Structure 1
Amino acid sequence: MSSTTFGALGVPAPLVAVLEASGKTEPFPIQQDTLPDTLAGRDVLGRGKTGSGKTLAFAIPMVARLAASGRQGRKPRGLILAPTRELATQISATLEPLASAGGLTITTIFGGVSQQRQVAALKAGVDIVVACPGRLEDLMQQGFAHLDQVEITVLDEADHMADLGFLPGVTRIMNATPSTGQRLLFSATLDNGVDKLVARFLRNQVLHSVDEATSHVAAMTHHLFEVADADAKRDVVEALASGTGRRILFMRTKHHAKRLAKQLTAAGIPSVDLHGNLSQPQRDRNLAAFSDGSARVLVATDVAARGVHVDGVELVVHVDPPAEHKAYLHRSGRTARAGSEGDVVTVMLPTQRGDTLALLRKAAIKVAPQSVTAGSEPVVSLVGEVAPRVTPAPVSTPARGRSQGGTSQGANAQRKRAARDARGQGDSAGGGSRGSRSRRGGAAGAAGAGRAGGAAQAGGARGAGRAGGAGAAQESRGRAAASHGTRGQGGASSAAPQRTAAAPSGSRPRGGKGRAQAPAGGIRVGSVVRPNVRGR
């Protein structure tokens, strides 16, 4: 099809201006194929590989339709369903400037975070909801989300929703929308029940299939590296991560992703991890660090195989080959997006050779294995310019060390820690024996802490209570010192510590149940933010 413009396809002028401002002047094939039908109000089934521009293909007609019809109440009129939080967040980011130009409001709904903000947005009135099925159903059941005025519904990555078992919930959500509304479904494949969704909810749909499920980008180059053993693999992976550009390294398990990110950061390669064990704020912080360049490497599980779009990812490394070929294609699709070039490397051990070659055959990837070390030419050429090593910032130490200098900040930190530790240890002392136990604990804590000095003891006594609280606090500090300050480090920060009210003598201080009070911003080590655990 000949090259055209968004305006020639019928996109309203305000939206064309937004697209041109972001450098988008010519539509991608799936946009060029689908926009005439979607803008005309037709139901559309779009098939295209990851990174093909599907988000704009449905965002443009949604905004155009809703902006033209005008606000008609406080209930949502546009609904986009996505399988993961990351994808929902990416969709919202793409949609926001278009919606703003059309005078429309958006909210994003997914689990893993408090629902209060989401409920408040729904109550205030919103035009477009971008949601994951699970949390949206929860809010519908609670009476906060009403879909009876939805004019246009989009199912994005429908095949992935099927893989995750979301289709029953998707079906219930779709049943809550008016049958007369426009519906757009985008999916790489039509298996695992996606075809049933199409048959049930799309009417006289137009099929636009830009790419087959196994197609891959011409600008994407695949490499298969075989290494001798685990040590050689570690060296090759570190070398591949050491370049100046952005790289995504994929692992099979959450534990291994977290461990590799720490190892690379310790080696001077700022890295962050992304996996299912992270809270949503932690995911957001790590993705932000990867996006703004403070971390050059993202070490992820398959949670990042879809929905994570960061410009300029020049290399994807399958540190652990995936379990099946579709995962390989989606992982690899994080590079060579939107016309850019990129490389994909799979690192395999000799024992993984048979399974890896079979997986690549299923993915229709033709590449010959190469035996490599970290210094081999194929590895060195992919690394390119090696980025300067970044020395990780030291982990902040507990505030006890500052109290030795006699500063008021150190004394305040001692009082705060003493009160906190008393909360954690207070349950072990009961009734009238609490004072004697605490005094014995104080002697043990003084011996364990050793260097705290008289000022620290006085500060601990003021924070934890003049009777038994001081002993409990000293005992807790002694135990913390013996275990390398695990609890204390969670609250270490260069910010001035908050004052903690002194507990009445002989009573347990009010407040938490022994949880460490981490600073709101967490601790930054290199470019990695070790997130705050407060309020989880």
Structure 2
Amino acid sequence: MVALGNMVAAEPALQEKKGKKKDKKKREREDAEVVEAAPIVVETEEKKRKKKKNKNKEVDGGDEVVAEVEEEVVVEKTKKKKKQKSEGVSAPGSEKKASAVAAEVTGNEKLSVVVTGNGSQDPKFKKLENFNLEGVPATVLQCCQGFERPSPIQAHAWPFLLAGRDLIGIAATGSGKTLAFGIPAMKHVLDKVEKKKGQKAAPICLVLAPTRELAQQIADVLEESGGACGVGTVCVYGGTPKGPQRSALKAGARVVIATPGRLQDLMEEGVCSLDQVTYVVLDEADRMLDLGFEPAIRAILSTCAKVRQTVMFSATWPQAVSKLAMEFMNEDEPVKVMVGSQDLAANHDVTQIVEVIEDRARDARLETLLQKYHKSRTNRVLVFVLYKKEAVRVEAALQRRGWKVSAVHGDKGQADRTKAVNSFKDGTRPLLIATDVAARGLDIPDVEYVINYSFPLTTEDYVHRIGRTGRAGKKGLSHTFFTQTDRARAGELVNVLREAGQTVPEELLKFGTHVKKKESKLYGAHFKEIGADSGKAKKITFGDSDDE
């Protein structure tokens, strides 16, 4: 009896220890792929049936079941043109305040730029026409050599960021967002280092990214701009040994680029302290805030300096994350710079071809397209699939047919993923199969074609996928397979195609042009009058009632 009592007494401590171990393993998995969406407060019977039906499906990057309500959306190009005219779209070279809509020219395309927020009407924050940035060392700007002028997102964001303002930047993939926040970050770090001479070296800038590939990409860019002026950077992510990352942090890295899970582990070990971090960047902020990283981000930012500059960048900005994003900003109304359409929009430098096809015909059609787009077998072609097992199957099938192909997905170890990406970059294996873990992490300028073998779970991910081509002002082409099972996203895809002036196939229109409204994670889809960015839901606990 005494022994049994001791076992019962030790049970809570044992459970707590197991829980901590489980949480640590969970964070490691989050580094490799996007975690599942936060649970909805009210779960309908219909949703439960859907979950049961899709139980055995492995979606790389996380499964997300979203209850949606159909509502008609009519797209009229004439209406959009009238709106631009009423807002006073000006010709390039005309002087207007930063808050006005200005016309920017990139190649033959015109992009509207909208700047809003506190102080956006101040003329001192007018857009930059060149790379003469006051107070920024020439060594930091060496990475901009070869460009005639800043890209629109850089030209409008730099004045605010260099002035220490909180900012949300939204622009198409391949538009220079990394340097848009990276160069002000280096200037910020250099200024702080000058003031803290003699003090122990500690991180001053923190950049958070949702995937390992994106973290590595950001690190490459920031090392190029900061290395010349002696700013140490370290990239922290899961799936690799912690030893080298610990050593780099202890050596006094001033800039930390990290995925949330691994960073939390190193913080718990006491290796990384963020109390001197005064410049924080959330890259692909919509993905992290909308798909489950919120608790980790809150925990990490709570240890940073209270007075700091917070910056968020993304190519898409769903309404659902807007209010949540505001909670991390120091300013009540931070500056928001939006380049291009305020609606979901794709890169206009990418020609989009959508082909409605039978599921069983995709393999043969992929082979035909590769014979066309990858005829030389030396140009870079990126094929996106949805499931990890699908990536393995397609890779094996193409290898049997003699194609030089590799794959990147969540089931591969970090060393294998890095090897696959490097072989794609250097042209050893110029054909790459990838899941959505690479949709936002690959910045390879010479990707000529993107083929969507499977349509993604969201249209936002479609925009990011095709943005892997047509980068840095170059032209690209995407070819997308659209099947009967994807019909729920037909309306959104039609809108994206029309906004970019692309051809909409008649077969796609047969699925209808309805756009299913994304529900609030707090209130579901039944309360149309409550916005998707409404306040936090309150948890109500009902006690047992006594019959009277």
TM range, smaller chain: 0.5 to 0.7
Structure-1 residue corresponding to 2:347: 217
Structure-2 residue corresponding to 1:58: 181
CA deviation digits over 1:156-192, x for unaligned, max 9? 1110102330011111211111121222111321534
2:143 partner letter: V
1:44 partner letter: L
Q: Does 1:246 align with 2:380?
A: yes
Structure-1 residue corresponding to 2:158: 35
TM-aligned CA deviation for residue 363 of structure 1: 3.6
Given candidates 12, 16, 22, the residue that maps to 2:137 is 12
Given candidates 163, 173, 186, the residue that maps to 2:313 is 186
Q: Does 1:94 align with 2:230?
A: no
SS of equivalent to 2:139 = helix
SS of equivalent to 2:406 = strand
C-alpha distance in 1, partners of 2:485/2:492?
Answer: 11
Structure-2 residue corresponding to 1:301: 435
Q: Is the 8 A contact 2:459 2:489 kept in 1?
A: no
User: In the superposition, relative to structure 1, how do residues 356 and 318 fare at CA in structure 2: closer, same or farther (>3 Å)?
Assistant: farther
Structure-2 residue corresponding to 1:259: 393
CA deviation digits over 1:9-41, x for unaligned, max 9? 764322223321xx2342110000001111122
CA deviation digits over 1:50-101, x for unaligned, max 9? 2221100011001122123326422111110111111100000111111112
C-alpha distance in 1, partners of 2:281/2:352?
Answer: 33
SS of equivalent to 2:429 = coil
User: In the superposition, relative to structure 1, how do residues 296 and 73 fare at CA in structure 2: closer, same or farther (>3 Å)?
Assistant: same
C-alpha distance in 2, partners of 1:322/1:49?
Answer: 18
Structure-2 residue corresponding to 1:155: 282
TM-aligned CA deviation for residue 370 of structure 1: 7.8
Unaligned 5+ runs, structure 1 = 372-536
Given candidates 210, 217, 230, the residue that maps to 1:83 is 210
Structure-2 residue corresponding to 1:361: 494
C-alpha distance in 1, partners of 2:343/2:212?
Answer: 23
Larger radius of gyration: 1
Structure-2 residue corresponding to 1:24: 147
Q: Does 1:312 align with 2:446?
A: yes
Structure-1 residue corresponding to 2:425: 291
TM-aligned CA deviation for residue 283 of structure 1: 0.7
TM-score (norm 2): 0.63
Q: Does 1:195 align with 2:318?
A: no
User: In the superposition, relative to structure 1, how do residues 63 and 169 fare at CA in structure 2: closer, same or farther (>3 Å)?
Assistant: same
C-alpha distance in 1, partners of 2:422/2:506?
Answer: 35
Structure-1 residue corresponding to 2:270: 143
User: In the superposition, relative to structure 1, how do residues 353 and 304 fare at CA in structure 2: closer, same or farther (>3 Å)?
Assistant: closer
2:504 partner letter: A
1:255 partner letter: K
Structure-2 residue corresponding to 1:44: 167
Given candidates 435, 453, 456, the residue that maps to 1:322 is 456
CA deviation digits over 1:177-228, x for unaligned, max 9? 1121222111321534442232443325222111335122222111122345
C-alpha distance in 2, partners of 1:8/1:114?
Answer: 39
2:139 partner letter: P
Q: Is the 8 A contact 2:166 2:310 kept in 1?
A: yes
SS of equivalent to 2:286 = helix
C-alpha distance in 1, partners of 2:285/2:439?
Answer: 15
Between 38-47 and 87-96, the greater mean CA deviation after superposition: 38-47
C-alpha distance in 2, partners of 1:114/1:192?
Answer: 36
SS of equivalent to 2:235 = strand
C-alpha distance in 1, partners of 2:133/2:235?
Answer: 31
User: In the superposition, relative to structure 1, how do residues 209 and 285 fare at CA in structure 2: closer, same or farther (>3 Å)?
Assistant: same
2:269 partner letter: Q
CA deviation digits over 1:377-401, x for unaligned, max 9? xxxxxxxxxxxxxxxxxxxxxxxxx
User: In the superposition, relative to structure 1, how do residues 139 and 323 fare at CA in structure 2: closer, same or farther (>3 Å)?
Assistant: same
Q: Is the 8 A contact 1:67 1:103 kept in 2?
A: no
SS of equivalent to 2:319 = coil
Structure-2 residue corresponding to 1:110: 237
TM-score (norm 1): 0.65
User: In the superposition, relative to structure 1, how do residues 228 and 97 fare at CA in structure 2: closer, same or farther (>3 Å)?
Assistant: closer
CA deviation digits over 1:296-316, x for unaligned, max 9? 111111111111111111111
2:297 partner letter: V
TM-aligned CA deviation for residue 275 of structure 1: 0.6
Q: Is the 8 A contact 1:77 1:151 kept in 2?
A: yes
SS of equivalent to 1:96 = helix
TM-aligned CA deviation for residue 352 of structure 1: 4.3
C-alpha distance in 1, partners of 2:354/2:153?
Answer: 30
C-alpha distance in 2, partners of 1:25/1:177?
Answer: 37
Q: Is the 8 A contact 2:497 2:503 kept in 1?
A: no
Q: Is the 8 A contact 1:274 1:301 kept in 2?
A: yes
Q: Once superposed, what is the RMSD of the aligned Cα atoms?
A: 2.2
Q: Is the 8 A contact 2:349 2:474 kept in 1?
A: yes
Q: Is the 8 A contact 2:289 2:321 kept in 1?
A: yes
C-alpha distance in 2, partners of 1:263/1:325?
Answer: 28
Between 271-280 and 314-323, the greater mean CA deviation after superposition: 314-323
User: In the superposition, relative to structure 1, how do residues 213 and 63 fare at CA in structure 2: closer, same or farther (>3 Å)?
Assistant: farther
Q: Is the 8 A contact 1:158 1:194 kept in 2?
A: no
Q: Does 1:273 align with 2:407?
A: yes
SS of equivalent to 2:312 = strand
SS of equivalent to 1:216 = coil
SS of equivalent to 2:129 = coil
Structure-1 residue corresponding to 2:256: 129
TM-aligned CA deviation for residue 257 of structure 1: 0.8
% identity of equivalent residues: 35
Q: Is the 8 A contact 1:11 1:64 kept in 2?
A: yes
C-alpha distance in 2, partners of 1:370/1:314?
Answer: 26
Given candidates 359, 366, 369, the residue that maps to 1:237 is 366
Q: Which fold has the larger relative contact order, with Cα–Cα distance below 8 Å and residues 6 or more apart in sequence?
A: 2
